[in-house]
Amino acid sequence: MKEKTKILITAQGDFVAQRFDLAAEVVIATVENGEPAGKSRTIIMDRPSPEDLCNMIMEEDIAMVICGGIEDRHYQFLTWKKIEVIDSVIGDYQSVLKKAIAGDLQSGDLLLLARGDLSL
Amino acid sequence: MMRKTFAVPGVIALDDLLAGFPHAAACLDEGFKIVAVNNRFEAMTGYGRDVAVGVYADFIVRSNMGNSRGQVFQKVAESGEAASIEGDIINRSRKKVAVRFTVSRLRTKRGGRSKGLLLVLEDISGQQTSSQGVRLGGGRASDIIGHSPKMQAIFDIMPLMAHTEASILITGETGTGKDKIAETIHRNSSRGKYQFVKINCGALPPELLESELFGHVKGAFTGAVRDKQGMFKLADKGTIFLTEIGDMPLPLQVKLLSVLDDRAFYPVGGERKEKVDVRVIAATHRSLHDQVERRVFREDLFYRLNVLHIHLPPLREREGDIRFLLDYFLQDYATRLGKEVQTFSESALVHLLAYPYPGNIRELRNIVEYCANVCRKQDIGKDDLPRYLFDRLPVSRSADGLPVKPEPTGEVMRAVGDGAKKEIPITPATGRRVGGDNWTAIEKEMILQALTAGKGNRQKAAELLGWGRTTLWRKIRQYDLA
């Protein structure tokens, strides 16, 4: 990971949102020298839109996107833009973020959920 | 740790119950976590039961059925009224699948306490295609279009093929619609409500292809960390479509032949024989006869697959269909792009009807997409056509499928369209082979020219090509031009 990079997680409540195209909330974390730099930012979008989300990812100069299900065309677009996409991730976004910063997160990872109940 | 199955006390195990469902199905507990799934659920979502069981269902299903915070599940659990909702899911292969969700409550007995929910996912992608008003060839329920006698003959024989269990071999040049024919036959067969699983035999290295087709057991090779079901198992009771069968390596051909004969196979590294009930449809753009003669394709497998045979004619041999398809795709793109383009001018038609379409329907559709994007009037004129239509001479195909420019005959090419025949002069050609001078090469060249003209600016290049930026990046990536 570069010295200072940004990670974006599509979120729904405390969890990684199930779908990229339906996500209306994203969490952006800045990572500096392998450590979180300050608090994560949460952005609520006007409406769920995968195209708007792709634009935001580019405008925000995001290096890594973590999400649940994503359509292939959006995945291809982001990877073509040299953005790392870790998809099909299930878990609470804080644990997911920690794992991503540690360089241990992979597509399809299912994290043991921090909360006892899984109700969203 | 969740139990993999729970039993309605003294009655039935859920795994056995779900196995008989004709659709993807899962049982959820009172907290809406998955308790049991069937094979079709695994095939549709891409999640094996080893991962899915014990996880909140929405994380696995990834639907748009409006189940935020489990609202739909909660409502069904409380009211007992089943809900049926149409929507879609995004599976592990990053594919969106249109689905009808049915959620119903499970109880131990009449008036008893709720034990959870039954979630059924019916794949309705086939139904949606026909209900979206796609015009049907010969009035049949498919999205294959054509009025030419050669296509009519195929439309006539397709219902017969749908009602048999025999293997089918579909041949035809690239872009002639082999996949669509295969899927239509499957949808109209008694297996139509089960899975249609497609696999490209030319796209994967032999070791991976074997694992994809037949699955593997944990520890079969490095990286096989768990058992994996292959495509044959996932297509159980349905149809498996093996495209580019001519590219299948010889050792795998032996295994495929064995599956066709015995309806059973061993997964990679496995010791237990798996039984399957699968219909096989294979397709290739190569001549399997030649492959057999060159000893790169097994003769016995060829005869086993070639029980029923469909040859799809290239577009240039489908009399009258070019004009029909031009109008069809123009209407489609105009609607999608919100354009007022209505028809083709006479001058444009002269060129469009004379062009030989080496990339067949796929190429014709791309040309129409280009025209619909570029045209600013109601009629598509000659100037709205892609430049390469004028730069290149009509090409025909040699026996081995490679494009060949025609011999210099000095004659005229007869273009048939809309019932009227036009005489189009052809510039004499040299008759030399131009292997690789196909749609891909032409499109690559167009992209490079546009990028050069736009000084590397992709926005400008996309505008010059009349494409959206997304289309351009997709094609740049496809042709590895980045």
Cβ contacts of B31 on chain A, cutoff 8 Å: 117-119
What amino acid occupies position B70? G
Average pLDDT in the B209-234 region? 86
Q: Which positions ≥6 away from B447 have C-beta within 8 Å?
A: B461, B465, B472, B475, B476, B479, B481
The pLDDT value recorded for residue B461 is 83
What is the distance between the alpha carbons of residues B455 and B262, in angstroms, rounded to a whole number? 60
Q: How far is B88 from chain A (nearest CA, A)?
A: 11
Residue B291 CA to residue B43 CA, distance in Å, equals 33
Q: Cα torsion at B207, B266, B216, A71 (round to 10°)?
A: 80
Residue B124: pLDDT band (50, 70, 90) is confident
Res B332: pLDDT: 84
Residue B268 has pLDDT above 70, yes or no: yes
Q: Which residues of B253-284 are buried (b: 16+ CB within 10 A; e: fewer)?
A: bebbbebbeeeebbbbebeeebebebbbbbbb
**Of A21, A77, A88, which has the smallest distance from its Cβ to B470's Cβ?**
A77
Give which of B373, B437, B461, B170 is closest to B365, Cα–Cα: B373
pTM above 0.90, yes or no: no
B267 within 8 A of B73, measured Cβ to Cβ? no
Average pLDDT over residues B169-189: 91
Where is pLDDT greater, at B157 or A119?
B157
Question: Is A89:A112 a contact under the CB 8 Å cutoff?
Answer: no
Q: pLDDT value at position B77?
A: 87
- A71 closest CB neighbour out of B33, B94, B473: B94
Q: Is the dihedral of CA B27, B29, B30, B32 positive or negative?
A: negative
- DSSP state for residue B150 in the 8-state scheme: H
Interface test mutation site (partner A, options B28, B33, B47, B59, max chain A beta carbons within 10 A): B59
pLDDT of B415 higher than 70: no
CB of B23 closer than 8 Å to CB of B37: no
- A–B: how many Cβ contacts below 8 A? 67
Query: Residue B15 carries which DSSP code?
Result: H
Residue-wise DSSP of B410-435: --EEEEEETTEEEEEE-------B-T
Give percent above pLDDT 90 in chain B.
29
Report which of B138, B100, B122, B104 is spatially closest to residue B38, judged by C-alpha positions: B122
Instruction: For residues B371 and B22, give the distance between their C-alpha atoms in angstroms, rounded to a whole number.
Output: 44
CA–CA separation, B416 and B319 (whole Å): 7
**DSSP per-residue codes, B190-229:** TTTTS-EEEEETTSS-HHHHHHHHH-B-TTSSTT--S-B-
**Residue in A18, A72, A77 nearest the CB of B59:** A18
The predicted model gives B228-255 an average pLDDT of 91
Asked if B90 and A120 come within 8 Å (Cβ–Cβ), the reply is: no
CB contact under 8 A, B93 and A77: no
Find the angle CA(B356)-CA(B362)-CA(B366) to the nearest 5 degrees: 90
Instruction: Work out the pLDDT band at B111, boundaries 50, 70, 90.
Output: low
User: Is residue B109 scored above 70 in pLDDT?
Assistant: no
- Residue-wise pLDDT for B375-401, tens only, equals 888 889 888 898 888 765 444 444 344
Q: Using an 8 Å CB-CB cutoff, list chain A residues near B63.
A: 18
How far is C-alpha A87 from the geometric centre of its chain's CA atoms? 8
Exposure b/e, B344-357, CB count within 10 A at least 16 = b: bbeebbbbbbbbbb
With 0-12 / 13-18 / 19 or more C-beta atoms within 10 angstroms meaning exposed / middle / buried, residue A70 is buried
- The pLDDT of residue B208 is above 60: yes
Rounded to a whole number of angstroms, the distance between the first and last alpha carbons of chain B is 48
| pLDDT at residue B80 is higher than 90 | no
B92 touches chain A (CB under 8 A): yes
Give the one of A15, A76, A90 whose C-beta lies nearest to B477's C-beta.
A76
- With a cut of 50, say whether residue B431 has pLDDT above it: no
Name the DSSP letter for residue B384: G
Cβ of A90 within 8 Å of Cβ of B94? The answer is: no
Residue B331 in this model has a pLDDT that exceeds 90: no
Of all residues in chain B, the one with the smallest CA distance to A19 is B62
- What three-state secondary structure class fits B179? helix
Do residues A53 and A20 make contact, with C-beta atoms less than 8 angstroms apart? yes
Find chain A residues with C-beta within 8 A of B53's C-beta.
none
Stronger pLDDT, B338 or A112, i.e. the higher one: B338
| Residue B143 pLDDT level (bands cut at 50, 70, 90) | low
Average predicted confidence (pLDDT) for chain B: 79
pLDDT (mean) for B18-41: 88
Contact between A72 and B95 using a beta-carbon 8 Å cutoff: yes
Averages of pLDDT over runs of 10 residues in chain A (120 residues) are 84 93 94 89 90 91 96 88 94 93 93 52
Mean pLDDT of B344-360: 90
* pLDDT at position B131: 39
Overall average pLDDT of the B109-113 stretch: 62
For A82, the closest chain B residue by CA position comes to B482
Q: Which class for B114: exposed (0-12), middle (13-18), buried (19 or more C-beta within 10 A)?
A: middle
Q: What is the pLDDT of residue B128?
A: 53
Distance CA(B400)–CA(B479), nearest Å, equals: 24
How large is the angle between the packed helices B321-337 and B360-374, nearest 10 degrees?
40
**What is the structure's pLDDT at B134?**
34
* No. of helices (H) and no. of strands (E), chain B: 20, 20
Q: Does B399 touch chain A (CB under 8 A)?
A: no
Predicted confidence at residue B396, as pLDDT, reads 44
- B154 and B310 in contact (C-beta within 8 Å)? yes
Taking the alpha carbons at both ends of chain A, their separation in whole angstroms is 32
Please count the CA atoms within 13 angstroms of the CA of B459 that sit on its side-chain side: 0
Q: Residues of A near B (CB-CB distance < 8 A)?
A: 12-13, 15, 18-22, 68-73, 75-77, 80, 87-88, 90, 108, 110, 117-120
> How far is C-alpha B436 from the geometric centre of its chain's CA atoms?
25
